[in-house]
Protein backbone atom coordinates (compact mmCIF):
# COMPACT_ATOMS: atom_id res chain seq x y z
CA UNK A 1 0.00 0.00 0.00
CA UNK A 2 2.83 2.38 0.87
CA UNK A 3 4.52 1.74 -2.48
CA UNK A 4 1.29 2.29 -4.38
CA UNK A 5 0.34 5.46 -2.49
CA UNK A 6 3.83 6.84 -3.25
CA UNK A 7 3.45 5.96 -6.94
CA UNK A 8 0.21 7.98 -6.95
CA UNK A 9 2.20 11.01 -5.80
CA UNK A 10 1.52 10.86 -2.07
CA UNK A 11 4.17 11.67 0.52
CA UNK A 12 4.09 8.48 2.54
CA UNK A 13 4.81 8.20 6.25
CA UNK A 14 5.59 4.58 7.07
CA UNK A 15 5.10 3.56 10.70
CA UNK A 16 6.36 0.20 11.91
CA UNK A 17 7.52 -1.33 15.16
CA UNK A 18 10.26 -3.04 13.15
CA UNK A 19 12.83 -0.54 11.89
CA UNK A 20 14.48 -3.05 9.56
CA UNK A 21 11.38 -3.96 7.58
CA UNK A 22 10.28 -0.32 7.59
CA UNK A 23 13.66 0.72 6.16
CA UNK A 24 13.18 -1.83 3.34
CA UNK A 25 9.82 -0.32 2.40
CA UNK A 26 11.03 3.27 2.55
CA UNK A 27 14.17 2.46 0.50
CA UNK A 28 12.00 0.84 -2.20
CA UNK A 29 9.95 4.02 -2.46
CA UNK A 30 12.93 6.37 -2.38
CA UNK A 31 14.69 4.29 -5.04
CA UNK A 32 11.91 5.34 -7.39
CA UNK A 33 12.49 8.99 -6.52
CA UNK A 34 9.24 9.12 -4.59
CA UNK A 35 8.71 10.53 -1.13
CA UNK A 36 8.64 8.38 2.00
CA UNK A 37 9.51 8.92 5.66
CA UNK A 38 9.99 6.27 8.28
CA UNK A 39 9.00 6.30 11.93
CA UNK A 40 9.39 3.58 14.49
CA UNK A 41 6.41 3.32 16.84
CA UNK A 42 4.75 0.74 19.04
CA UNK A 43 1.17 1.71 18.26
CA UNK A 44 -0.16 -0.18 21.29
CA UNK A 45 1.30 2.61 23.49
CA UNK A 46 -0.93 5.67 23.49
CA UNK A 47 1.85 8.07 24.52
CA UNK A 48 4.09 6.78 21.71
CA UNK A 49 1.29 7.34 19.20
CA UNK A 50 0.73 10.90 20.43
CA UNK A 51 4.48 11.62 20.12
CA UNK A 52 4.47 10.12 16.65
CA UNK A 53 1.65 12.42 15.53
CA UNK A 54 3.49 15.45 16.94
CA UNK A 55 6.76 14.54 15.17
CA UNK A 56 5.05 13.78 11.86
CA UNK A 57 3.17 17.09 12.00
CA UNK A 58 6.42 19.03 12.57
CA UNK A 59 8.70 17.05 10.27
CA UNK A 60 6.39 16.13 7.38
CA UNK A 61 3.09 17.98 7.68
CA UNK A 62 -0.61 17.36 8.13
CA UNK A 63 -1.68 13.78 7.51
CA UNK A 64 -4.58 13.49 5.08
CA UNK A 65 -4.91 9.71 4.87
CA UNK A 66 -4.53 7.36 7.83
CA UNK A 67 -4.33 3.63 7.12
CA UNK A 68 -4.65 1.55 10.29
CA UNK A 69 -3.11 -1.71 9.19
CA UNK A 70 -1.25 -3.22 12.16
CA UNK A 71 -2.69 -6.44 13.50
CA UNK A 72 -2.00 -9.96 14.71
CA UNK A 73 -3.97 -13.19 14.55
CA UNK A 74 -3.55 -15.85 17.22
CA UNK A 75 -5.18 -18.95 15.83
CA UNK A 76 -6.17 -21.73 18.22
CA UNK A 77 -9.18 -22.99 20.17
CA UNK A 78 -10.08 -20.35 22.77
CA UNK A 79 -9.06 -22.50 25.75
CA UNK A 80 -5.55 -22.81 24.32
CA UNK A 81 -4.93 -19.09 23.93
CA UNK A 82 -2.87 -17.37 26.60
CA UNK A 83 -3.72 -14.23 28.52
CA UNK A 84 -0.53 -12.56 27.30
CA UNK A 85 -1.30 -13.28 23.64
CA UNK A 86 -4.93 -12.14 23.92
CA UNK A 87 -4.09 -8.95 25.81
CA UNK A 88 -1.41 -7.95 23.31
CA UNK A 89 -3.75 -8.72 20.42
CA UNK A 90 -6.51 -6.54 21.83
CA UNK A 91 -4.04 -3.69 22.45
CA UNK A 92 -2.88 -3.93 18.85
CA UNK A 93 -6.06 -4.85 16.96
CA UNK A 94 -8.45 -2.64 18.96
CA UNK A 95 -6.75 0.00 21.11
CA UNK A 96 -4.16 1.03 18.52
CA UNK A 97 -6.98 1.89 16.09
CA UNK A 98 -8.42 4.25 18.68
CA UNK A 99 -5.06 5.81 19.62
CA UNK A 100 -4.29 6.49 15.95
CA UNK A 101 -7.72 8.03 15.48
CA UNK A 102 -7.25 10.22 18.57
CA UNK A 103 -3.84 11.28 17.29
CA UNK A 104 -4.63 12.01 13.65
CA UNK A 105 -8.34 12.92 13.58
CA UNK A 106 -7.95 16.41 15.16
CA UNK A 107 -6.10 17.82 12.12
CA UNK A 108 -8.66 16.23 9.80
CA UNK A 109 -11.43 17.90 11.81
CA UNK A 110 -9.64 21.28 11.68
CA UNK A 111 -9.36 21.06 7.91
CA UNK A 112 -12.59 19.10 7.28
CA UNK A 113 -10.37 16.97 5.08
CA UNK A 114 -9.08 13.46 5.49
CA UNK A 115 -9.62 9.76 5.12
CA UNK A 116 -9.28 6.92 7.63
CA UNK A 117 -8.92 3.36 6.34
CA UNK A 118 -9.25 0.49 8.83
CA UNK A 119 -8.62 -3.22 8.45
CA UNK A 120 -11.37 -5.34 9.85
CA UNK A 121 -11.69 -8.87 8.46
CA UNK A 122 -14.10 -11.48 7.26
CA UNK A 123 -13.75 -12.41 10.95
CA UNK A 124 -15.31 -9.01 11.69
CA UNK A 125 -18.58 -10.09 10.05
CA UNK A 126 -18.99 -13.71 11.09
CA UNK A 127 -17.80 -16.16 13.71
CA UNK A 128 -14.91 -18.42 12.70
CA UNK A 129 -13.51 -21.30 14.75
CA UNK A 130 -10.00 -20.99 16.19
CA UNK A 131 -10.41 -17.21 16.10
CA UNK A 132 -12.56 -16.36 19.11
CA UNK A 133 -10.45 -13.46 20.49
CA UNK A 134 -9.46 -12.32 16.97
CA UNK A 135 -13.08 -12.21 15.76
CA UNK A 136 -13.92 -10.16 18.85
CA UNK A 137 -11.19 -7.67 17.95
CA UNK A 138 -12.26 -7.44 14.31
CA UNK A 139 -15.93 -6.93 15.22
CA UNK A 140 -14.54 -4.16 17.42
CA UNK A 141 -12.82 -2.50 14.44
CA UNK A 142 -16.15 -2.55 12.60
CA UNK A 143 -17.85 -1.06 15.66
CA UNK A 144 -15.21 1.66 15.97
CA UNK A 145 -15.54 2.68 12.31
CA UNK A 146 -19.36 2.45 12.25
CA UNK A 147 -19.70 4.62 15.33
CA UNK A 148 -17.03 7.06 14.19
CA UNK A 149 -19.09 7.56 11.01
CA UNK A 150 -22.21 8.24 13.09
CA UNK A 151 -20.34 10.61 15.39
CA UNK A 152 -18.75 12.63 12.56
CA UNK A 153 -22.07 12.81 10.76
CA UNK A 154 -23.87 14.17 13.82
CA UNK A 155 -21.21 16.78 14.61
CA UNK A 156 -22.61 20.33 14.33
CA UNK A 157 -19.53 21.32 12.30
CA UNK A 158 -19.42 20.24 8.67
CA UNK A 159 -17.12 17.21 8.73
CA UNK A 160 -18.36 15.72 5.48
CA UNK A 161 -14.82 16.06 4.09
CA UNK A 162 -13.61 13.26 6.35
CA UNK A 163 -14.13 9.87 4.71
CA UNK A 164 -14.02 6.43 6.27
CA UNK A 165 -13.35 3.08 4.62
CA UNK A 166 -13.42 -0.30 6.39
CA UNK A 167 -11.85 -3.31 4.70
CA UNK A 168 -13.04 -6.89 5.31
CA UNK A 169 -10.38 -9.15 3.82
CA UNK A 170 -10.60 -12.89 3.64
CA UNK A 171 -7.08 -14.29 3.33
CA UNK A 172 -4.25 -12.21 1.92
CA UNK A 173 -0.96 -13.94 1.32
CA UNK A 174 1.03 -11.84 3.81
CA UNK A 175 1.93 -14.61 6.24
CA UNK A 176 -0.67 -13.45 8.81
CA UNK A 177 -2.76 -16.54 8.16
CA UNK A 178 -0.50 -19.56 8.57
CA UNK A 179 -2.94 -22.40 7.81
CA UNK A 180 -5.80 -21.32 5.54
CA UNK A 181 -8.46 -23.87 4.62
CA UNK A 182 -10.23 -23.38 1.33
CA UNK A 183 -12.55 -25.72 -0.56
CA UNK A 184 -13.71 -23.50 -3.45
CA UNK A 185 -10.62 -21.71 -4.63
CA UNK A 186 -12.42 -19.51 -7.16
CA UNK A 187 -14.89 -18.11 -4.65
CA UNK A 188 -12.55 -17.74 -1.71
CA UNK A 189 -9.16 -17.25 -3.26
CA UNK A 190 -6.07 -16.23 -1.35
CA UNK A 191 -5.27 -12.78 -2.71
CA UNK A 192 -1.70 -11.59 -3.26
CA UNK A 193 -0.65 -8.51 -1.26
CA UNK A 194 -0.19 -6.32 -4.36
CA UNK A 195 -3.67 -7.09 -5.63
CA UNK A 196 -5.13 -6.46 -2.17
CA UNK A 197 -3.32 -3.11 -2.00
CA UNK A 198 -4.82 -2.13 -5.38
CA UNK A 199 -8.32 -3.08 -4.20
CA UNK A 200 -7.94 -1.17 -0.92
CA UNK A 201 -6.57 1.98 -2.53
CA UNK A 202 -9.23 1.86 -5.24
CA UNK A 203 -11.95 1.55 -2.56
CA UNK A 204 -10.45 4.47 -0.67
CA UNK A 205 -10.25 6.70 -3.74
CA UNK A 206 -13.84 5.86 -4.67
CA UNK A 207 -14.83 6.68 -1.10
CA UNK A 208 -16.50 3.33 -0.51
CA UNK A 209 -17.45 2.95 3.15
CA UNK A 210 -16.70 -0.78 3.13
CA UNK A 211 -15.45 -3.57 0.90
CA UNK A 212 -14.41 -7.20 1.16
CA UNK A 213 -11.43 -8.84 -0.50
CA UNK A 214 -12.20 -10.68 -2.74
CA UNK A 215 -14.87 -8.08 -3.44
CA UNK A 216 -17.73 -10.45 -4.37
CA UNK A 217 -17.63 -11.93 -0.88
CA UNK A 218 -19.07 -8.76 0.54
CA UNK A 219 -22.54 -9.39 -0.82
CA UNK A 220 -22.43 -13.02 0.18
CA UNK A 221 -21.27 -12.28 3.66
CA UNK A 222 -22.73 -8.91 4.56
CA UNK A 223 -26.18 -9.52 3.13
CA UNK A 224 -26.97 -13.15 2.34
CA UNK A 225 -25.19 -14.89 5.23
CA UNK A 226 -26.47 -12.40 7.79
CA UNK A 227 -30.07 -12.74 6.64
CA UNK A 228 -29.98 -16.44 7.49
CA UNK A 229 -30.52 -17.84 10.98
CA UNK A 230 -27.19 -18.78 12.63
CA UNK A 231 -27.61 -22.52 12.06
CA UNK A 232 -28.35 -22.04 8.35
CA UNK A 233 -25.35 -19.72 8.01
CA UNK A 234 -23.17 -22.31 9.75
CA UNK A 235 -24.40 -25.09 7.47
CA UNK A 236 -23.57 -22.94 4.47
CA UNK A 237 -20.11 -22.26 5.89
CA UNK A 238 -19.64 -26.01 6.57
CA UNK A 239 -20.36 -26.60 2.89
CA UNK A 240 -17.90 -23.91 1.79
CA UNK A 241 -15.44 -25.35 4.31
CA UNK A 242 -13.27 -22.28 4.48
CA UNK A 243 -11.50 -21.12 7.58
CA UNK A 244 -8.22 -21.39 9.39
CA UNK A 245 -6.70 -24.40 11.11
CA UNK A 246 -5.16 -24.15 14.57
CA UNK A 247 -1.46 -23.42 14.81
CA UNK A 248 -1.23 -25.96 17.63
C1 LIG B 1 12.10 -7.18 11.34
O2 LIG B 1 12.10 -7.21 9.94
C3 LIG B 1 13.15 -7.96 9.36
C4 LIG B 1 13.09 -7.73 7.84
O5 LIG B 1 11.82 -7.98 7.31
C6 LIG B 1 12.99 -9.41 9.77
O7 LIG B 1 14.03 -10.18 9.21
C8 LIG B 1 13.01 -9.51 11.29
O9 LIG B 1 12.75 -10.84 11.69
C10 LIG B 1 11.96 -8.58 11.92
N11 LIG B 1 12.15 -8.55 13.36
C12 LIG B 1 11.17 -8.90 14.19
C13 LIG B 1 11.51 -8.77 15.64
O14 LIG B 1 10.08 -9.27 13.83
Q: Which residues line ligand 1 (CB under 6 A)?
A: 18, 20-21
Q: How far is the CA of 17 from the centre of ligand 1 (A)?
A: 10
Q: Please name the residue whose Cα sits nearest to atom 2 of ligand 1.
A: 21
Give alpha helix (H) positions in the chain.
2-7, 19-31, 46-59, 83-90, 96-111, 132-153, 193-205, 217-218, 226-227, 230-240
CA of 6 to the centre of ligand 1 (A): 23
**Measured distance between the N- and C-terminal CA atoms of the chain, rounded to whole angstroms:** 31
Centre of ligand 1 to C-alpha 56, Å, is: 24
Q: Name the average pLDDT for the chain.
A: 91
Is residue 69's pLDDT more than 70? Answer: yes
148-206, pLDDT tens digit by residue? 999 999 999 999 999 999 999 887 777 766 666 766 666 667 788 899 999 999 999 99
Lowest mean pLDDT among 85-89, 115-119, 195-199, 234-238: 234-238
Tell me, what's the pLDDT at 157?
A: 96
- CB neighbour list of residue 97: distance below 8 Å, 6 or more residues apart: 68, 118, 140, 141, 144
Ligand 1: residue whose CA is nearest its atom 4? 21
What average pLDDT does the segment 33-62 reach?
98
Residue 230: per-residue pLDDT: 78
Helix (H, G, I), strand (E, B) or coil at 175: coil
Total-model pTM: 0.91
Distance CA 185, CA 61 (A): 44
CATH topology of domain 41-244: Rossmann fold (3.40.50)
State residue 172's pLDDT score: 75
Amino acid sequence: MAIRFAALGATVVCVDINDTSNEETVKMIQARKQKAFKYRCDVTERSAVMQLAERVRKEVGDVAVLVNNAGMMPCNPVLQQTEQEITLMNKLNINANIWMIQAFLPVMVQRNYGHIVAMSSMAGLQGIKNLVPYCGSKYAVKGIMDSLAVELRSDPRDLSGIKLTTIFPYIINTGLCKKPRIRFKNLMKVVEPGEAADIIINAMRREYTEISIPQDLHYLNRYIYRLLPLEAGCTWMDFIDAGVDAHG
